[in-house]
Amino acid sequence: MTELENRSQSSEEFLKGLWKENPVFISVLGMCPALAVTNTAINSLAMGLATTFVLVCSSILVSLLRSIIPKQVRITAYIIIIATFVTVVDFSLAAFTPTIHKELGAFIALIVVNCLILGRQEAFASKNKVGLSVLDALGMSLGFTFAMLCIGIPREILGSGSLFNMPLFGESFEPWIVMILPPGGFFMLGFLLLGFNWYTQRKEKNAKILDA
């Protein structure tokens, strides 16, 4: 693993997940179950943090065990490890924050099938040292949490006229109820990706003009 030490890229491993390789905006990974709970900012944040915990813990364990897990059974082993930490999160939330646990319901357990988590084990943690794996996991999950909030905050503001349960507008505000219903999730992510595409395509165009 000397090749990684040669490039002092710790900070890069951390930062890439936030923007350059943001799991949601670039590869639309891990949205399946998570989108359902982005109807309020607080739920989005809780989902993001739960995912962060699972991703970081499983990355540590997978990275530690990377030399003793044979290739043939690695996916099974990863899934066992991930499912373990998801169960830990599920129980802990139920024990300490029952209200949030009730809001998120079965979607906490569904973190197990979040493609982002298994993807990082396969692509990074199984090949790198613990330190780097943690940085990678932290960066990716912060990028994920950031994306969740990007969806959750506008949905709550428009759909309920509040942010983190604090009312923002006066009585006269008529909430866009559709935003906190399922279609709002599709629309919000759709428009975010649209904005992201627009930004990258414009940047590419500008770069071409500069080249020419």
Partner 1 sequence: MENLIWIFVSALLINNFTLAYFLGLCPFLGVSGKLVTAFRLGLANIFVMLITGACTFVLNTWVLPYAPYLRLISFIIVIASSVQFVEMAVKKLSPELFKALGIFLPLITTNCAILGLALFTTNKGYGFVEGMIYALGAGAGVTLALVLLAGIREETRILNIPNVIKGTALNLIIAGIISMAFMGFAGLFST
Partner 2 sequence: MAEEQNIVPEIIEEKEPSSIVLILALGIAGLLSGIILVGTFIYTDPLIRANKEAAMQRAIFKVLPDCDSYITLHLEDGMLKEKIVDPNKKEESDSEELLIYSGYNANKELIGFAIPGSEPGFQDIIGTIFGYDASQKVIIGFEVLESKETPGLGDKIFKDAAFQTNFIALAVDPEIIAVKNGEKQNPNEVEAITGATISSKAVVRLLNKTMDIWQGEIDKYIIQNNLTVAEDND
Residues making contact with partner 1 (CB under 8 A):
28, 31-36, 76, 79-80, 83-84, 86-87, 90-91, 105-106, 109-110, 112-115, 118, 178, 181-187, 189-191, 193-194, 197-198, 201
Tokens of 39: 């109807």
Minimum CB–partner distance for residue 87 and partner 2 (Å) = 6
Out of partner 2, partner 1, none, what residue 106 binds, judged by CB under 5 to 8 A for its kind, is partner 1
Supply the DSSP symbol for 18.
T
- Output the DSSP codes for 75-130: HHHHHHHHHHHHHHHHHHHHHH-HHHHHHHGGGTGGGGG-HHHHHHIIIIITTS-H
Amino acid at 135: L
Minimum CB–partner distance for residue 188 and partner 1 (Å) = 9
Residues in the chain, total? 212
Contact 37, 28 (CB under 8 A): no
Out of partner 2, partner 1, none, what residue 72 binds, judged by CB under 5 to 8 A for its kind, is partner 2
Minimum CB–partner distance for residue 18 and partner 1 (Å) = 20
Supply the DSSP symbol for 22.
-
Q: To which residue do tokens 């904005």 refer?
A: 195
Nearer to partner 1, 108 or 134 (CB): 108
Minimum CB–partner distance for residue 101 and partner 2 (Å) = 9
